[in-house]
Structure 1
Amino acid sequence: MSQPFFDPDTYASQLAAKRQRLVELLAPFAAPAPEVFESPHEHYRLRSEFRLWREDGQRHYAMFAPGDKHTPILIDDFPVASRRINQLMPRLKAAWLASEALGFKLFQVEFLTTLSGDALVTLAYHRPLDDAWQAAARALAEELQASIVGRSRGQRLVIGRDHVLETLQVAGRDYRYRQPEGAFSQPNGEVCQKMLGWAFDALGQRDDDLLELYCGNGNFTLPLATRVRKVLATEISKSSVHAALANLDDNGIDNVTLVRLSAEELTQALNEVRPFRRLAGIDLKGFDFGTVFVDPPRAGMDPDTCELTRRFPRILYISCNPETLARNIAQLHDSHRISRCALFDQFPYTHHMEAGVLLERR
C-alpha cells in the first residue's frame, strides 16, 4: 500500500524549504549560497526496518507514525526503499507464512542493501533459534541470494556474511566498503556518493595531514586519504573500527593511522591532559595537520572538541543536524569563516537534512 509521507509531486517544494532553512541558519555567519544535492525521488533508501503486526490471522510489515506506537501503517510495498528491498519483501513474507521455523515468534525484520545489489536480512525473534531455524534460514538465503542474520535474546546466528559489500565512486575511482549488520551506514547511497564527491573536492589536493574525528566505517576516510600525506582517524565503536580497518586494507590505502578513541578522548590526548594506551607507539607530534574533518552525531561537537578544531587552518564539517552545526559554527565564527556550504537531501519527505561546510581560518 502507499505511504502518506511519500509524495514525489512534492519533492521540489520540500527541497526548496530545506534550502531556505539552511540559508536562514547560516545567515548570521555570512555563508555563501549552498550547493544543493538532491536525492532520487524514490527507491533511495538502502536500509529499512519493519515491525510485524498481526491482523486477520497473519503478520504484516508495519510502520508507525512518529509518537504513535499503537496505530500501525501496514506495508505491502515501500517505494522509499531500494528496488532490492521491494523485491525481497514479498518473497520473505511468503517464506515466513509458509514455514513455522521461520515465522514462529518473528517480530521484526531489517533489510540492508547496497547500490551494487548486495543484501542482508535480519530476522528478530521472541524465542531461541534452533537447528530447524538454521536449516530453514539456509534455504531462504539461497532462495533470496542474500545473507541472513537471526537474532534473539543472547543469540546472533549468521547465514552467509554479517556485512554487505558496497561500491561507491568518487572522482572516477571505485571504493569498496564492508558495511556490517547492526552498524551505522549511510542510508541514501546516491546522496552519499555526492557527499563524498563534495568533501573530496572541498578538501583539495594537500601536501599536509588530515585529522578525522568520528570516522565510522571509513566512509569518508577512503577517498579523503588520497588527497593528503597522512591521516589520523578516530572512532569509538569497535564494529566500525574493524570495518574501517578492513575497508582500508581492501582498497590498498596505507597512509591512515586509526585509533579507537572518542573525539573527547583525542582532545584530551592532544591537550596532553592524560596518556592513552591505545595511542602507544603513535607520534602525535609527527603529524602536520592542515585540515580537520568531522562528521559528528546529531548532538554535534561538544564544546571542548569544537574548541580543539579551532587550532586547524581548515575545518571540513559534515552534519546530520544543521541546528547543532550552527551552534558549533557560532563558537568558531570569530576565528573561521565559511567558504563553502552544501545541502545533501539524504532524507526526502522528512524535515531531516545533511549539510556540509568548509571553514577556513580568517
Structure 2
Amino acid sequence: MSSVPLDSAAYAQQLTEKTARLRELLAPFDAPEPQVFDSPLQHYRLRAEFRLWRENEERFYAMFEKGDKYTPILIEDFPIASARINALMAPLKAAWQASTALSFKLFQVEFLTTLAGDALITLAYHRPLDDAWQAAAEQLAADLQVSLIGRSRGQRIVIGRDFVEEELEVAGRRFRYRQPEGAFTQPNGTVNGKMLAWAYEALGERDDDLLELYCGNGNFTLPLATRVRKVLATEISKSSVYAALANLADNAIDNVTLVRLSAEELTQALNGVRPFRRLAGVDLASYDFGSVFVDPPRAGMDPDTCELTRRFERILYISCNPETLAQNIAQLHDTHRVERCALFDQFPWTHHMESGVLLVRR
C-alpha cells in the first residue's frame, strides 16, 4: 500500500484539517473546543476485506478504486490493517495456492481480528463447499490458529467459532466482548478504547437510569452500565443482540434490559403510538431516565427519535457522520447546549471522522 503516506507530518496535517471541520460544524452551537483523540499511524484497522484477482493461475489480494471494478490494485501487505492480519496474509495465500480444494472459485477473503490477538477468516466462494474443502479448511485453521468460516450460496460452514473475542480496559476494569462475523464492530480498536473512556467520563457517576439506542454488541453498554442504576438498551440486529446478551453475561453485568427494537420503534412505544410484544414484561414506568446514549448509523437520528431525546436531561451522542450530528444538534439546540465535544480519528488517511458530544438541558 505504497499509496498511503504513513508519515507523521502528513497525518498531523490531516488531523488538523478534520479538527477544523468539526469545529466549523459545531460553531453555530457555541460548542467548546473539541478534545482530539488520535490514531496509530498504521496497524490500527482490525478488519479488512479483499477481493481476489487471478493472473497466470495465481490469485492475489486485490482492492479497487471506487467506481472501477476492472483495474485491480494487487496487495501483498496492508499496513493500515492490524499486525495480525498482515501476519496471516502471506501464509493464507500460500495455502490456497497449494490447494485446489481451497482456491477453486474463491473470490473474497475477510479478516476480523482483535487487540487481544484473536482472529477469524471468512472465505467466500462461487461454488458449493464439499468434504474436500472442509478437510482442507480444518487443517488451515489449525495451522494458522484461527477460526474460519466458508461461505457460498446457501452455505455457511464454521470451523472453530463464528466470533472473535476482544478485551478492552475502561477506568481500570477489563471488559470482554464477543464480536460476531458479519456484525458491526468498531474497526479501530485503539481509538475505540479512547471513545469508551471519553463516554464513561462524560456520563459521570449517576443515581438514575440510562436509555441506550443502537447498542450493537454492547460496546458502550458494558462500561456505561457501571455508571448508572440500570439501563434499557435497544438494538434491531439479531446477531448484535445475541452478542450483547452474551457480553453482558460474560461480564456479570445484571442491570441492563435489552430489547430487540429499532430506535424508531422504541420512540413509538414511549410515545404510546403502538404496543410491542417484545416489550412485554418491561415496566417502562419503573425507569427514572436521566440520560440517553445514542450511536446511530451515518444517517443520524430520524426527526422523531431526535425529538424523543429532547426529554432527557443529558444526551450523550457518538456519531460517525459529523454532518448529520450537526443536523440533529440543530433540532435540539433550543433546549440543550453542547457541554463537551470530541473528535475520535477512527479512520486516519480518509476524510471520515468519528465525533462525540454531550448535550445538557439548558
TM-score when normalising by structure 2:
0.99
Partner of 1:35: 35
CA distance in 1: counterparts of 2:12 and 2:221, whole angstroms: 32
Deviations 1:315-338 (A, max 9, x none): 000000000000000000000000
Q: Is the 8 A contact 1:128 1:155 kept in 2?
A: yes
Structure 1 residue 6 displacement after superposition:
4.0
Q: Is the 8 A contact 1:6 1:80 kept in 2?
A: no
Q: Does 1:233 align with 2:202?
A: no
AA aligned opposite 2:200: F
Deviations 1:150-198 (A, max 9, x none): 0000000000000000001101110000000111111000000000000
AA aligned opposite 2:289: F
Structure 1 residue 54 displacement after superposition:
1.0
CA distance in 1: counterparts of 2:50 and 2:152, whole angstroms: 16
Deviations 1:226-246 (A, max 9, x none): 000000000000000000000
Q: Is the 8 A contact 1:294 1:316 kept in 2?
A: yes
Deviating above 3 A after TM superposition, structure 1's stretches of 4 or more consecutive aligned residues are none
AA aligned opposite 2:79: P
Q: Is the 8 A contact 2:260 2:278 kept in 1?
A: yes
Q: Is the 8 A contact 2:315 2:358 kept in 1?
A: yes
Residue segments in structure 1 that go unaligned for 5+ positions in a row: none
Partner of 1:100: 100
Partner of 1:45: 45
CA distance in 2: counterparts of 1:6 and 1:217, whole angstroms: 33
* Distance of aligned partners of 1:68 and 1:5 in 2 relative to their CA distance in 1, 3 Å threshold: farther
User: How do 1:54-133 and structure 2 match up within 5 A?
Assistant: 54-133=54-133
AA aligned opposite 2:210: L
Deviations 1:250-306 (A, max 9, x none): 000000000000000000000011100000010101100000000000000000000
Structure 1 residue 67 displacement after superposition:
2.3
Structure 1 residue 58 displacement after superposition:
1.0
Partner of 2:135: 135
State how many pairs are aligned.
Answer: 361
Structure 1 residue 64 displacement after superposition:
1.1
How high is the sequence identity, in percent, across the aligned residues? Answer: 78
CA distance in 2: counterparts of 1:331 and 1:26, whole angstroms: 13
Partner of 1:189: 189
Any idea what SS the aligned residue of 1:341 has?
Answer: strand
AA aligned opposite 2:348: P
CA distance in 2: counterparts of 1:167 and 1:60, whole angstroms: 32
Q: Is the 8 A contact 2:6 2:42 kept in 1?
A: no
Moved more, 4-13 or 312-321: 4-13
* Distance of aligned partners of 1:6 and 1:125 in 2 relative to their CA distance in 1, 3 Å threshold: farther
